[in-house]
Every structure is written in structure tokens, then in C-alpha cells.
Amino acid sequence: MSSPSPVHIKDTFGAIFIGALVTMTIYGITTLQAYFYYLSFPQDGIKTKLLVASIWILDTIHAIFMCHALHYYLIDQFGNAAALRDGTWTVFMSIAINVIMAFIVQCFFTQRIFKLSPLDRRWWIAGIIGFFVFAHFVFGIQTVVYLFIKKQFSRLKEVALNNALPFGISAIISDITIAAALCMLLRNSRTTFEDTNTVINRLIIFAINRCILTSAMAILETIVFTVLPNSFYSLAIDFVIGKLYANSLLAVLNSRARLRSGTTQEESSATEMSLRFNVTSAVANHQTSLLQVRTRDRDSLRRSNIADEEKGDQRIVTVSTTASNHSRKDGRTLDEGLAL
């Protein structure tokens, strides 16, 4: 009877240890993003707040499972070569948590695409994207179930072709279709206002960057798991990819504050100003007229209020203008595409 092959610590637990360090760093960013969201957007609906809370809780559970797995293999079972050959339940459950987080985030973007799509095409666009998102979720859960069945790390190659490969391909396709749809819809939302188009361009760049990041990690994980099924480099990548999905959602929600502040700074010379002109009147008593013009940005619809006030020998004319919140051609605002 042949003896079991030795465990190569460097390519297995050394890989997931490095992946865990990177993952915990990103988890800190996720926590900061969640804190910033609740601090900056207390007016958001309960659905959005619950969504952010659920993503952060799932991300925290994933971090706990990951730390438990590392402690089990590197501390509790230190020197026990037999224990290192079997997968503990927290390793496989961490993958399941990532699958659930990816599904929630992709459903969020699919819903945004549905709301921003034209009425006559929204079901087709959202339906196609939803198909790939659901396929990604199903293949992911199927992969986790097979990992629990196989259990031994030496049998991971049996999972690679039949389960992990479709799982990775569906993840790549779903991310690309979401990014392509967002770019198309945002491009069609261009208006005659230069500031609105600047915001749209920033959102398009963000959508492309998000797609490149998550898709590149999914491609890398699929290739590594297929080519090197006996190593844990794919697990290390999977630790990270779940955090990227969580951060992509929080970054989209928090980007509203940055976009608003950006347009405010660009227009500060024209928006937060007060001009006073003293004009000598030609009337006999030389009364002075004071013209005061004030323009302010707001995140509501455009409206203008003009009030004339006479007080003593002065006339004060106040003009208040509130700028539009990047309205679309169909009357909806772009901000509707960033929150529930």
C-alpha cells in the first residue's frame, strides 16, 4: 500500500496564509466603507441600509471562517500531516459565503440596470443579465456541495472540470454583462449639460474598472484552480474576490458623496456666490438700490425663486436658483441608479 503524498506547505497553507493577510486588509476597507456609508447617507431607505448591513455581516462571517481555518491547520493541527489533507468545514463555508455575497451584489446591479433601462427593453436586458447571475450562483453552490462531498484536498482535481470551470466562466460572463449594460445605459443618459456628462463619464469609468478587477480575479482563480488543483492558490484568490464584491457595492453607494462634492467644487465660482451692486438712482431723492444675486446647488430638481423686498431707502432683489440633480432625458435622476 502506497503512502500518501506529502503536503507541500508553501503551495498550500503558505498560499492561503498570504491570501488571508490581503483579505483582512481589504476587510478593514470594507468596514470603513460601511461606516462611511451610514455616516454620510442617513436619509437612505431601510432597504439600502439593510443591504449594506447584510453585506458587512456576511463579510465578517467570512473573515471569521477564514481565521478559524488558519488556526485549525496552522495551530491546532500543527505537525499532524493527516489532518492537513482534509478540508475543514470553515474552508468550504467561506467559499459559500463568497458565492452568496457575489449573488447579492450582482442582483443589486441587475436591479439598478432594470430601473435605468428603457421601458420597452428593461425586461430583456435584466433577464439576460439575471440568467448569468443565477447561473453563477447555482454553479457556485454546486461547487461547494461537491467540495463537502470530496472533502480531501487531493481530490480537488475531480471538482475542477465539472464544477469549478462552469462556476468561474459564469462569474466572468455575469460581471462583463453587468459592466457592459451599465456603460450602455449611462452613455444613453448623456444630456446637453456638461457637468452631468462629466458625472456620467466618471460612472462609466468606475463600471469598467469594477468589471476589470472582479473579472480578472475570476479568470485568475479559474485558471489556477484548473491548472494547479492540488495547490491552494485558488483558495487564496477566492478569499480576496469576495471582499472585492463587497467593496464594489459600498463604493458605488459612497460614490454619490464624491460625485456631488466634485460638481460643487467645480462650480463653486458660479454657485455659492453673493454679488452686490450699488447703483445710484437718477431719482430726485437719490435712493440706493441694492441688487443681491445668490445661486446655490441642491440635489433636488431645478427651481427659481425671486423675491423683492423693500426696506427703507433700499431695494433688495434676491434670486435663488437650485440646480438639477443630473436629470436624465426620461425625467429620472442618475442618483436613482445608485441607491434603492
Quick: pLDDT tens for 233-271.
Answer: 888 999 999 999 999 899 888 887 766 665 544 444 333
282: pLDDT confidence band, cut at 50, 70 and 90?
A: very low
Residue whose C-alpha cell is 475542477: 160
Count of CB atoms within 10 A of residue 286's CB? Answer: 9
Residue 127: the pLDDT is 93
Q: According to CATH, where is 1.20.1070 located in the chain?
A: 13-266
Amino acid letter at 155? R
Output the CA–CA distances (angstroms, integers) from residue 296 to 193, 196, 206, 275, in the order listed: 17, 16, 28, 13
290: pLDDT confidence band, cut at 50, 70 and 90?
A: very low
Give the span between the Cα atoms of 268 and 265, in whole angstroms.
Answer: 5
Identify the top-confidence range among 59-68, 105-114, 286-295. 59-68
Give the span between the Cα atoms of 163 and 146, in whole angstroms.
Answer: 8
CATH code for the part of the protein at 13-266? 1.20.1070
**Non-local CB neighbours of 120 within 8 Å, separated by 6+ positions:** none
Which three cell numbers, joined as nine digits, stand for 249? Answer: 457595492
Least confident stretch, 110-114, 174-178, 306-310: 306-310
Residue 332: the pLDDT is 54
Mean pLDDT score, 57-84: 88
Least confident stretch, 203-212, 290-299, 330-339: 290-299
Residue 152 scores a pLDDT above 70: yes
Mean pLDDT score, 38-46: 92
Identify the top-confidence range among 17-26, 189-198, 296-305. 17-26
Residue 5: the pLDDT is 57
**Non-local CB neighbours of 296 within 8 Å, separated by 6+ positions:** 271, 272, 320, 321, 322, 323
pTM of the predicted model over 0.85: no
Residue 161: the pLDDT is 67
Give the span between the Cα atoms of 325 and 327, in whole angstroms.
Answer: 6
Residue 275: the pLDDT is 34
* Mean pLDDT, all residues of the chain: 75
Contact 167, 143 (CB under 8 A): yes
